[in-house]
Structure 1
Amino acid sequence: MSAVRVVGDFESTARGMSGDGEDGGDVSIGSELTAARERADMTIEQLSAATRIRTGLLVAMEADDFSRCGGNFYARGHIRAIARVVKADPAPLLASFDAEHAVEEEKARRDERAAAKGPTLHPARPRWAVVVGAILVGLMGWGMVRLFTLPSDIEANAGAKSTPTPAVTTPAPTPKPTTPKPVKPVKPVVPTKTKLTLTAKDDGSYVTLRDKKGKRLFQGLLGPGSTQTVTATGDIRISVGIPANLTITINNKRQSTKLYRFIAHPNGTLTKPK
């Protein structure tokens, strides 16, 4: 089937979704994706191999469930990748997707702003008038006590005899000789963790990252200009769709490769898996 025919079918179906076609019926994005795949004469497995999108996620998207895409950004990337494989124009589908999910994004932003606003607590202000009054009362009381006891203090001081205080001299301690401690040689620090940063360019690439035990650290489409950074103990296993569309940095060391599968090591190098 030619690319011109597929693009025409896409545009006509998209006009039907907006209500401008003769039938005027509403067609979901998932139905459009299914129709596009069938027009391209491809199965779910074939489309998954061509786009590197999991079959389960493709089935969910064709059922209008985009929640498993990891966000609207990745959902748009998947739609664009599918359209590229079936030789179709993704613009009508992306426009429909943005129109349907704009309300959900605005509601999510309002909820986040409402949750960020908490009750405002004002610190209690001290009652300065009470504090100043208490200080003045204390000073007045102290003055009255001194006024009535001052003559007695003078007489007592006049009759008292001064006794010289003997001076006591303490000899300074003799410092003990100190033996310098031997300096232990510092062993070079061997890195045990791997910090991997992938930056997408051109059309981006689909990426899967796993640690040395096989646990998935990240999986998804890196769109143009997007960056993904993960850190793990030991090696990180990487699978990419288009190596040329990625800039690779391992522990702040720039690397490049043409491999679709490789391993990043803590020492900043990458190797081909055995």
Structure 2
Amino acid sequence: MSIGKSPQDDQPSAVGPRDAVGPVEPVDSLGSAESAEEERSATEEDTLSVGRALEQARTEAGLTLEEVSAATRVRVPIVQAIEQDDFSRCGGDVYARGHIRTFARSVGIDPEPLVRQYDSEHGGRPAPTPAAPLFEAERIRPERRRPNWTAAMVAAIVAVIGFVGFTVFSGGDDESPDQQIAEGLAPEKTAAEPSATKPADPKPEPSDSAIAAAPADKVTVKLSAVEDKSWISAKSPNGELLFDGLLLKGESKTFQDDEQIDFILGNAGVLDIFVNGKQVDEDFEPGQVERPSYTKGDPEAG
């Protein structure tokens, strides 16, 4: 019997060229996709917008838009616009930065990184801008014009001089010693009478005894612009507008109410504030928008 090839000998070998080189590691496509997704998520977290970061912090703090508005005294529509990165309703870069600071503090996060991010996205730290256009819509009526005491004093002096002149000329040549004495004293009387009718200055300079002069049953607030101009809005608790306008450098203004005065101060850091006769240190910064309120009694400094 001859020994030949079996049918199995003609079949190709199961070992191919790939096996000769070595095993090829499988590609873990699922792991690569997950890694890429994690990197994208990390990148998105690192590049949260200013508004998105504030909204996320507010949500994590469990606060509503109304609660943030009450804490910052910024109207709800403006708070909502900031969370959507719409700063056009803030009235300018200076006030947008102030709103970002107050918003961040109310939800418990550091405001400075957000302010720097805002500056980098809006062309750097802005120069201070006038504050009046920001609250243009809140103006209800213009400030009442004060009496012109200078004109009244001049009119009084002219009237007194005219009366003295008429008395002198109507007396003729028969002047008595009494008339001469009266005529000689006339200039002193003329100078004294206007000062008797002129009202006291409503804005006295503050002193150590100023607290004693402030009415105990009212709240009295004096604002002085010492470094630059500042925009001021003052309202009583019932919403009555007491003042709305600019306070120029070197000017002062005094407000008084029976219960409380609510302020909105633009460029607040340039102001000296005296409450019920005492200077208070609010630690405000130039360019910031602040919304303090003051009531009767001895103020607490700081």
The TM-score with structure 1 as length reference comes to 0.42
The TM-score with structure 2 as length reference comes to 0.39
